Amino acid sequence: MATYVIGDIHGCYEPLCRLLNKINFNEANDQLWLTGDLVNKGPQSLETLRLVMSLGESCITVLGNHDIHLLALHYGLRARKEKDSKIFQVLDADDAETLMGWLQSRPIIHIEHQTILVHAGIHPQWSLETLKSLKQELEPAIKKVSSKEALSDLYGNTEGPWANAENSSTRSRYAMNCLTRMRFCDFQGTPEYQHNGPPGSQPDHFVPWFTLDNQAIASHTVLFGHWAALGYHQHNNIVGLDTGCAWGNSLTALNLEENTIVSVSAES
């Protein structure tokens, strides 16, 4: 049995199929972990969702910001725009309701043994207990979303330090932003969501979130995606796996047990 972790797919269905073949993925014996952002950017979001859903319990995928955006479009919290055209096929599919229900039931964080799977990042001021508490709060709320009003509590911008949100109505939204959108933060841990370039491209008062001391990840390996400009990246006990397939680069799988990687190009 092997556990393979694959970075952001973004509707790149054909490279995903080639990668699964290359690693000889066997859904009867192996486990597949995905860092989220199954949809958008690439050409085949609908096929990607259907394939991942068909894998059942052999696949664990956390929610990414593009997955949340798809739900926001489905429930009318955001109006359709031309930039979303790659996911219109999902919204208009005959099985859209089934796909959206399945997507809503995906975890926002997966914690197993000494490993954490998350889409974007973990706030440096969160303890492991805080992270588990947020998981227990957010996942039932996502499952219950069936209206614009319900999703608006989880979807939207937040600003300022975590301490200002911890005991307010913005706590859930703040946590969702960190888990699905964060790349950089300042030295006090306040997230910044505008810059998406590689480390070194950000303003001087921001740093990659994983370079700050973090209670939650001190004793865990953290696997994440979201940051195509970072590419495959190992920093102490964190591993970034978004290798930019939707931007013409590659799709990468990490074998957790062997600590080896396999990649396929975006183009066949």
Write down the pLDDT at residue 210.
93
| pLDDT of 166 strictly over 80 | no
Residues 6+ apart with CB under 8 A from 218: none
Query: What are the C-alpha distances in Å from 228 to residues 10, 164, 198?
Result: 11, 30, 8
Write down the pLDDT at residue 147.
59
pLDDT digits (tens, 9 = 90+) for 73-96: 998 877 788 888 889 999 999 999
Write down the pLDDT at residue 3.
97
Average of per-residue pLDDT across 29-51? 97
Domains of the chain: 3-265 (3.60.21.10)
Q: Please provide the average confidence, as pLDDT, over all residues in the chain.
A: 91
Of all helices (H) and strands (E), which one includes residue 74? helix 65-74
pTM (2 d.p.): 0.94
Cβ burial, residue 28 (10 Å; 0-12/13-18/19+) = exposed
| pLDDT of 226 strictly over 90 | yes
pLDDT digits (tens, 9 = 90+) for 10-20: 999 999 999 99
- Percent of the chain predicted with pLDDT > 90: 71
Write down the pLDDT at residue 83.
83
Contact, 52 vs 38, CB < 8 A? yes
- Percent of the chain predicted with pLDDT > 70: 96
Strand order in the sheet with 206-208: 191-192, 184-186, 206-208
Which has more confidence, 162 or 122?
Answer: 122
Which has more confidence, 124 or 150?
Answer: 124
Residue 256: strand, helix, or coil: coil
If you count DSSP H runs as helices and E runs as strands, how many of each does the chain have, helices first?
9, 13
| Listed range (35-39, 52-56, 166-170, 208-212) with the worst mean pLDDT | 166-170
